[in-house]
Copies of this chain bind each other. A is one copy, B any other.
């Protein structure tokens, strides 16, 4: 039995032969499994296999499963379509609330534009995993690849994409750290470490952290970087670790709590720039001056960090570059190439601005 694209990266095997390569070697169907062969193995007709592969809905659930199982077993290489419509890349966002999303979009557009791939944008309206509607639509569009941002495809969705040789990549993965899905993230642990060491070097000791939710790996990694830097400096963290959602409002609420303590922190490392802006507002409300009485460090380095008054010291997360890397990765997988790496972390870096200064005491 011929086995197509058998070296596949689990979870995102890219079965499609690149047009150039298939044009050059000209081996044709012998190279991969044909639809007729798959139909025979699944005990269904050729049009039925074709329907499943093309994401049509007029196939019974049971037949669909059977065909998908056979496709998974034997693999399938979608033939080059010389007169196909332009290639589409599906970009799925958990939510489009934050300017954060815009940096990602720009990075994807940058690469997609050059490679002549159109970007289809979907928003999950805050859910961490796309629903059935999204999948049905995406399969009908027969995309070249799928990029999910800060959200995870379900096991079933991954399986259906894999069965259609549609590769997928996650930017800033939210699930299990040891995952099989190709992904692009940032060095969050190092970023947390760098932010904390900057504050320690300025002379701070009571450095509070407002971490994002503990179960999200990027947030946990930042927190662990903070802990490591505090440990290395021999500074205890008791009572200084707090958790909150990555939004401005949470920064205001937790900032107010922290500043109302009998012995408030002299510095706050926020979970991201938006939380840091919330801390600005909290400080303003209680009359605490930044950086004279309170140092604040953010994470992400969004435009708003530059626009804040005083300008926010933060950890630069190369979101645009991450998005470009993810786009390149998914397009490589779609061409059937084997990328050197399928789990990439780009470097973060400290950007010192005007919101940090030595403590007054």
Query: CB distance A86 to B141 under 8 Å?
Result: yes
Question: Within residues 263 to 301 of chain A, which ones have a CB less than 8 A from any CB in chain B?
Answer: 274, 277-278, 280-281, 284
For A86, the chain B residues whose CB sits under 8 A away are: 137, 140-141
Q: Is A88 an interface residue when CB atoms closer than 8 A count as contact?
A: yes
Q: Is A113 an interface residue when CB atoms closer than 8 A count as contact?
A: yes
| The residue from B99, B119, B133 contacting A121, defined by CB atoms under 8 A apart | B119
A36-44, A61-69, A206-214, A306-314: which lies at the B interface? A306-314
For A118, the chain B residues whose CB sits under 8 A away are: 120, 122, 137, 141
Q: Is A105 an interface residue when CB atoms closer than 8 A count as contact?
A: yes
Query: CB distance B85 to A96 under 8 Å?
Result: no
Q: Is A172 an interface residue when CB atoms closer than 8 A count as contact?
A: no
Q: Nearest Cβ in chain B — how far from A345, in angstroms?
A: 25
Q: Nearest Cβ in chain B — how far from A111, in angstroms?
A: 12
Question: Within residues 137 to 158 of chain A, which ones have a CB less than 8 A from any CB in chain B?
Answer: 137, 140-142
Q: Is A304 an interface residue when CB atoms closer than 8 A count as contact?
A: yes
Q: Is A123 an interface residue when CB atoms closer than 8 A count as contact?
A: yes
How far is B141's CA from A310's CA once the two chains are assembled, in angstroms? 46
A310 (CB) vs chain B CBs: closest residue: B284
Q: Is A237 an interface residue when CB atoms closer than 8 A count as contact?
A: no
How far is B211's CA from A131's CA once the two chains are assembled, in angstroms? 44
How far is B308's CA from A123's CA once the two chains are assembled, in angstroms? 26
Query: CB distance B123 to A96 under 8 Å?
Result: no
Residues of A bordering B, CB below 8 Å: 56, 83, 85-86, 88, 96-97, 99, 101-102, 105-106, 109, 113, 116, 118-123, 133, 137, 140-142, 248, 274, 277-278, 280-281, 284, 303-304, 306-311
24 contacts between A and B (CB under 8 A): A85-B85, A86-B137, A86-B140, A86-B141, A88-B141, A96-B102, A96-B106, A97-B303, A99-B99, A99-B102, A99-B303, A102-B102, A105-B105, A105-B121, A106-B123, A109-B121, A118-B120, A118-B122, A120-B120, A120-B121, A121-B121, A248-B307, A304-B304, A304-B307
